[in-house]
Structure 1
Amino acid sequence: MKFASNPPFGNRSAIAPFAVGLALYVAALLVRIALWSVEPRLPFAPFSVAALLTFYLCGSAPGVLVVALSAGTVLYLGAPVQWAWTQRWMPEISVVGYALITILIGWLMERGRLAVRLADLNREQEMMLDNELVGILKLRGRKAIWRNRALEQMLGYGAGDPLGEDMRTLYPDEDSYRRFGEDAYPSLREGGTYRTQIRLVRKDGQAIWVDMSGVMLSAGRDESMWLLLDITELKRYQEQVESMAFRDGLTGLPNRMLLLDRIHQALPLSERTNRELAVCFIDLDGFKDINDRFGHDAGDRLLQAVAVRMQACLRGNDTVARLGGDEFVLVLAQLHSREECQAILDRVLEFVREPVAVTADQSAAVSASIGVALCPEDGTEPELLLARADAAMYAAKRAGRNRVHYFHERHPAAANLAEA
């Protein structure tokens, strides 16, 4: 016999079959009362059958056994009638007893099943909270009041080590701590969630990247729950992929794709601030001869040294990129004047001319020819500015090399581009 898993009164689906069983039980009871005058010792079987059917329809196998035993006990006590009041009120006493037994058993079974389910839920919750992968942190305000084992391992803390009265200790600097609070908590207090990727600091001082998401548990107590996943290895892999896609493999400088993106970003800023942007195309003079004389390894060492020197000449918001071979491009943003641009490029010419140790005992030197296209004077599109800077660079080479030439200073090589 197969029984359902729902206990009596356990859910609404059990109410209908229980009512059917109870109706059968009451019908059997009425038959018993009606026939009392005929045969006071009428077998009590209809009561037992009705009770068994009631619990069967409710889907409680243990309940069937318990009620069967209870019915037998009541039958045994009620059959040897010795007093008149017992004979008269035996049916009523029986129905009340069965009703109480039914309710009690249903309540006890429901309590037992709820206790088992609650224990299962507690075990499941404990397994989730004490996982080895996702760190969980509970905060009141911005102070830690609970964390799981995975978070301790992630941040390098022991079971008894405090995270600090304030979460500031987990951030690399005051500015990142402040920005996170300003970005995250307004969203949480409005009932939303917040997710970001942020750099945190372990107890030993090592920086890690984490994917961090949170939700407000209680706005009144200012309590929030945060899930943290260590994505340091993923970030490292992304950086490697981006480096291969957007960086020159020899010098580590931006390649053409990243260069165009940098120009795209700088153009709107230049327009808003009404300041000039300079795209400067650089070709090294004499590099081929060094390659032929000392070999490609020596040429690579020279290119690396030149790349470092160019970076040292620039300001924080400028860019130097390598397009390939001995061709470089500078993007000088937010120029206050033509003189400022010229001063930077004069410094580049000077630094590039300095000799470079290309072998253990030999040095070599190159110079640079630089062509400059200015925005908005010479164009407002990245590709057009690059093309005009390239044309100006060839004009610088024809004019004697080791010099700077601006596109707006008309030259034969740029004649066609000037009309573009």
Structure 2
Amino acid sequence: MPSVHHSSAPREASLPRIDERRLRSLFDAMPSGFALHEILLDGEGQPCDYRFIDVNPAFEAITGIARSRLVGRRVREVLPQLEPLWIERYGSVALTGDCQQFDDFSVDLDRHYRVTAYCPEIGLFAVIVDDITAIWRSEESLRQAAKVFELTRDGVAITDASARIVAVNHAFTEITGYSSEEAVGQNASILKSGHHDAVFYDTVWSELTSTGFWQGELCNRRKTGETYPQWLTITAVHDEYGQIERYIGVFTDISRLRNAEAHAEYIAYHDTLTQLPNRSLLNIRFEHALERAQRHHHKMALLIIDLDLFKNINDSLGHEFGDRLLVAVTERFKSRLRDEDTLVRVHGDEFAILMEEIEVATDAAVVARDLLQALEAPFRIGGSDEIYLSASAGISIAPDDGSDPALLLRNADTAVNLAKMQGRKTFCFYTEALTTHALERMRLESRLRRAMNLGHLLLHYQPLIEASSGAVIGAEALLRWCDPEQGMIAPIHFIPVAEDSGLIAPLGAWVLATACRQMRAWLDAGRALRTIAVNLSPRQFFLQDVPELLRQTLADSGLDARFLELEITEGILIERGERAVAILNRIRALGVRLSIDDFGTGYSSLSYLKRFTIDKLKIDRSFIRDVTTDSSDAEIAATIIAMAHSLSLSVVAEGVETAEQLAFLEEHGCDYYQGYFFSHPLAAEHFPESVENSCARRDPPRMDGTPWLTIRSAT
């Protein structure tokens, strides 16, 4: 071990006196950081620290510490971050005298350094620090490139200008089966599959030489001889003289993609459960069959077979059982059909059969009857009991009933519906008359949409008469459609269409908003009205958020909720149970009142009245009409009034048209009246302020049929 000088005080380094100023200039001009230290020893003569004797400007720049703050101070004191690794390495150099070189990274400065440490003479320690960040980053880039090349999942092959392979990556080996040793030195033609002719390869090389790039799909061969599709990109690499020196080929094995596409295409045209063609494939086969039929002047038949009450099986035995049953039905149908017939699962429990080249329509009837008979024998799925099925069939003939697959399918569906109406287990042919009604409904829906947009809808108001005072205390808003061509269209014709088409939601919202605004206007004008009643469709009740619609409508119109009354049917309460309870509770929380319209016509059980907070019952006009001539109707009406009063509910009689009816209702204590005896529904501007009873309680009915009550219209 070289001897060391133990000293506790700094001393000046012994520097040659020859041209010291020039030496100092060179020291300061060094691009590498340089620091000269004095070795400090502990009590046992071991190096324990190092004191700065001198540093050059480059060292100052690297450490960020000025020379004046370094010279004379210990390394541990000034650069504590060097602990412990650097100090350990310094100690090794100080003890052995061996020069050491190591690389380090400064997190704070994001720089890489190469450190050289040595002892220039006994007791002295020198450190040279070089910033190698640029070198390190360049090397790291090369390492990363090599790593990416090797680890990329795409196959990569690099060739020289003559297409001889000079390098391949691991993915190349996995995809082609050729190892690097087997591939390097070989021409890229070892991968050719023979699926492409010379013209194809001439095109590829022509594009490569002219543009330096080619991309496309081709078929290549693995080492095993198996061919596979790949997506290949070839890029030409030029030297400094512009000459091609390398080709880089990057390729992806797309065999899985092609298989997936083939599977997806199969799925797109087949039913996943039964493996039968689906409606999309039916359309394609229909087009081809129609061309052949037209060439040879043949007819075609499209049969729709719909299993009867299949939903009951799903509901009772589960969908999995239902699926297995559908597969069994499919097998029976297939066993009864010709190879040239196309059996299709349209959806759910509905099948279609496309029959080509039939001579007469009865040929299709024979097949339909045979398929229905195929279901007569019971099914046994697994260990289940015997399951009996039946079906209904509809038949449309091309070109007689149309030459469009969608039209024929629709016509056959129409015929199926007729078969079901006739008791099921049978088949029907399509006739044009079957669709007349459906087309009329479609046209009505279209006209209704236009009427809503053009403002052809309006409200009339049926006065509500209070029995105790004879005063007009409210109104029921009734929707009217004034068609420019057909005049007034009754709600009974267009409301069902609105419900089936979903138009009932915007239509109902418009009625509600219009009625609330009108009531607000009447109140602002000083009218002494208490109620505006609006009918709520059962479909609308569950098609939109009615409580939120009410809240927003009341806010927009400025109408207090206590003036609004919603009329709902018994069906809403009975059929929807707890859901209806939740919705009605939200409505009641707004302060809106509720009444049951057409009471007594829907359900015999009245227990639901205990579950719902109802304000009013409306006796259906069918009971009022014969209340004076039919004892049963009279008893029903009287019972409803008595029962309602026992439940603290008020009663409205609608459809009051004669003095005798009025007298009966008064006798039994009915609370409110509506009907032609008082007034027809009227436009808002003609709505009466009051009605005058001219001896209605004692005079006999007028012979001319005019009502006893005289309406005084608002001026």
What TM-score comes out, normalization by structure 2 length?
0.29
Bigger share in helix: 1
Structure whose alpha-carbon radius of gyration is higher: 2
User: Higher RCO, 1 or 2 (CA under 8 Å, sep at least 6)?
Assistant: 1
What TM-score comes out, normalization by structure 1 length?
0.44
Bigger share in strand: 2
